[in-house]
Amino acid sequence: MKLWYFFKLFVFLLIAGLTYQHRDEIMLRVRTAVHAYFPCTIPVTYSLGQFDTQFGLSRADFLMRIATAENAWEDVAGKELFKYVESGGDMTVNLIYDARQQTTEKLQEIGDTISDKKSTYEKLWAEYERLSAELVKEKTAYEREVAQLKNLQSAYQREVARANKRGGAEEAEYDRLETQRLEINKRVAEVNGSLSRLNKTISATNTLGAQVNALVQELKLNVDIYNTTGRTRGEEFSEGEYIYDSEGKRINIYEFSDTTKLARVLIHELGHGIQMEHVEDSDAIMYRLNAGKNDTITEADQAELRRVCRIK
């Protein structure tokens, strides 16, 4: 009898010891089962895993952004859905720097260059158009002045020829012809001045036109580089992913171009962390692509959350 008692005690202690030794794993399995069969009843705990600093974020800042993403779902659900723990969480969140973020940074760099050059191009083009319009006006005015001068010169030469044919001009006629001659000389000086201004405008317009053309060629080259770099991302490019396999649950964040995109991808992957699926609304956080420009929950997102959490 005593032997049986000691055997039961031994088995109990063995089970207790094994349970204590593997308590974290057992608790994780229990919590995983609860999350699977009774979603949203207890918070999904998460811990930070791999954290690459090339993104320029501190751990504290990244955790703050995750907490903000949590609130997006929790405010709708009216309950705590996620909880950060230092280690051993149900889910690991990783910030992984690889070719995806490198590509995004390159695109931003080229994009900024293109944007700056486009701004310069637009200013140069506006000035070129202004100068071109001014050139047309100056050329038209110059041609009109030249025509008027030629008419004055022709009329003067005819009158001088008639006076010479008569043996000379009388005093009054001479004074009138002299006045005409002085007026013609004045007009010649004005036409020469107009020609000088016209030539300067032509030179400035040609120089500016060359600059505009050079920028056009450079922009075309940069746009080609931009498009080529963009294509290296491929159609299957993903900014983040939620994985649940034999190694456990984890969220990997690979890329974000700005804080709004980071917010969207965190909210999206946390949604998967509580078993939410993709929705068809392209503006929704849970749409299959991070295509929207807002970081707020849509009605389609809310409907999916209510379905998963069994909220009436």
- For residue 303, the SS3 value is helix
102-231 is classed in which CATH architecture?
Orthogonal Bundle (1.10)
* CA proximity to 159, closest of 147, 149, 169, 172: 169
Rounded to the nearest 10 degrees, the angle between the axes of helix 99-165 and helix 171-231 is 170
Q: Which two tokens stand for residue 123?
A: 């200013």
Q: CA gyration radius for the chain?
A: 41
Least confident range from 17-21, 74-78, 148-152: namely 17-21
Of 141-155, 186-200, 215-229, the least confident: 215-229
Tens-place pLDDT, residues 201-214 = 888 888 888 887 88
| pLDDT tens sequence across 89-106 | 999 999 999 888 888 887
- Find out whether 90 and 28 touch, Cβ atoms under 8 Å: yes
Token pair belonging to 167: 């043996």
pLDDT of residue 92: 96
Q: For residue 103, count other CB atoms closer than 10 A to its CB.
A: 18
Helix (H), strand (E) at residue 185? helix 171-231
Segments making up each domain of the chain, as ranges: 1-37, 40-97+254-309, 102-231
CA 204 to chain centre: 35
Structure token pair of residue 277: 């699926």
CATH of 40-97+254-309, one of 3.40.390.10, 3.90.226.10, 3.40.50.720, 3.30.300.130: 3.40.390.10
| Cβ–Cβ < 8 Å for 233, 103 | yes
